[in-house]
Amino acid sequence: MKRWLGLYAAAVYLFLHLPLVILAVFSFNSSRFTVWQGFSLHWYRAIFQDQQLGESAWNSVIIAVAATILSTIAGTLCAYGLWKRGSTILSGSLYLSLVTPEIVMGISLLALFQWSFRWLHWRLGLHTVILAHVAFSIAYVVIVIAARLRTFSPALEEAALDLGATEWQAFRFVTLPALLPGIVAAALLALTVSFDDYVITSMVAGVDSETLPMVIYAMARRGASPVINAISALIVVVFGTLVLISERVRES
């Protein structure tokens, strides 16, 4: 049975990884068509010459970084606060935000922004996208840090207090360092979900705030292009590396 299980698992792993590997391999194809014609970096050069891609990637970076900073701060404080004193309503709404279908979250945020335009003089843009991204990534941050806090003993904080530390010092020099790997992992998760999001972003983005996933989506809709293969390969490599680094941080 062991052998069968191993073969089955190998097949499932192939199913999970082969499509991405093939996608990456064909990003180095010199032909525009899906027939291998020889190795070329042509499509990677094409990425850097494409102005729309550059602008949208820059937008995505600004949004992801801003949303990550905000949601990591809010989420870390929230997880610590909930650890000290739970709140069913707050954790309930955080969990609910995790299971809300993206399209529902997208249209409800659009409805809110449209409604706010009656009173506020602002438009859809980078700022609305950032607000939306923080809204759906706080829950991820809270969950990752809450998991870390479950393995953290309150006795450690109490010991620091007994040894004469103030409560602020106990938090700053005992709890926070213990949480740091969790905070890094949570920030990375927030960065990934923000950088990757298409559905919610496309609903609340303005004309001047197109993100990379929006451009990729539009290109994929128009038809195959090895340029998308090349961007995809870059995204997979960059985020794969980030994840491996964060795993290292978490283990240490």
Partner 1 sequence: MKTPSGWERLRAWFLLPAWIWMAVLFTAPFAIVIVYSLLTRGAYGGLGLPWTLENYQRLLDPLYLGIVLRSFAMAAATTVICLLLGFPLALFIARAGGRKNIYLQLVILPFWTSFLVRLYAWLFLLRDTGLINTALQGLGLIHDPLPLLYNDGAVLLGLVYGYLPFMVLPVYATLERLDPALVEAAADLGAKPWPTVLHVILPLSAPGIRAGSILVFIPALGAYLTPDLLGGGRTVLIGNLVQNQFTNARDWPFGAAISVGLMALVGVLVLLMLRREREGLV
Residues in 148-167 at the binding interface with partner 1, rule: CB under 8 A: 166-167
In whole angstroms, the minimum distance from the beta carbon of 96 to partner 1 comes to: 7
The CA distance from 110 to 21, in Å, is 36
Q: Is 109 in the site for partner 1 (CB under 8 A)?
A: yes
Q: Is 50 in the site for partner 1 (CB under 8 A)?
A: no
Q: Is 179 in the site for partner 1 (CB under 8 A)?
A: no
Q: Is 95 in the site for partner 1 (CB under 8 A)?
A: yes
Contacts (CB under 8 A) with partner 1, residues 189-228: 192, 195-196, 198-199, 203, 213, 216-217, 220-221, 224, 228
Q: Is 131 in the site for partner 1 (CB under 8 A)?
A: yes
Q: Is 46 in the site for partner 1 (CB under 8 A)?
A: no
| Residue of 108, 163, 208, 248 interacting with partner 1 (CB under 8 A) | 108
Q: Which two tokens stand for residue 2?
A: 């062991």
Decide whether 167 or 208 has the Cβ nearer to partner 1. Answer: 167
| Residue of 45, 84, 123, 248 interacting with partner 1 (CB under 8 A) | 84
Q: Is 183 in the site for partner 1 (CB under 8 A)?
A: no
What is the SS3 string spanning the chain? CHHHHHHHHHHHHHHHHHHHHHHHHHHHECCCCCCCCCECCHHHHHHHHCHHHHHHHHHHHHHHHHHHHHHHHHHHHHHHHHHHCCCHHHHHHHHHHHHCCHHHHHHHHHHHHHHHCCCCCCCCCHHHHHHHHHHHHHHHHHHHHHHHHHCCCHHHHHHHHHCCCCHHHHHHHHHHHHHHHHHHHHHHHHHHHHHHCCHHHHHHCCCCCCCHHHHHHHHHHHCCCHHHHHHHHHHHHHHHHHHHHHHHHHHC
Q: Is 240 in the site for partner 1 (CB under 8 A)?
A: yes
> Among 51-59, 98-106, 117-125, 143-151, which window interacts with partner 1 (CB under 8 A)?
98-106
Q: Is 123 in the site for partner 1 (CB under 8 A)?
A: no
Decide whether 41 or 77 has the Cβ nearer to partner 1. Answer: 77
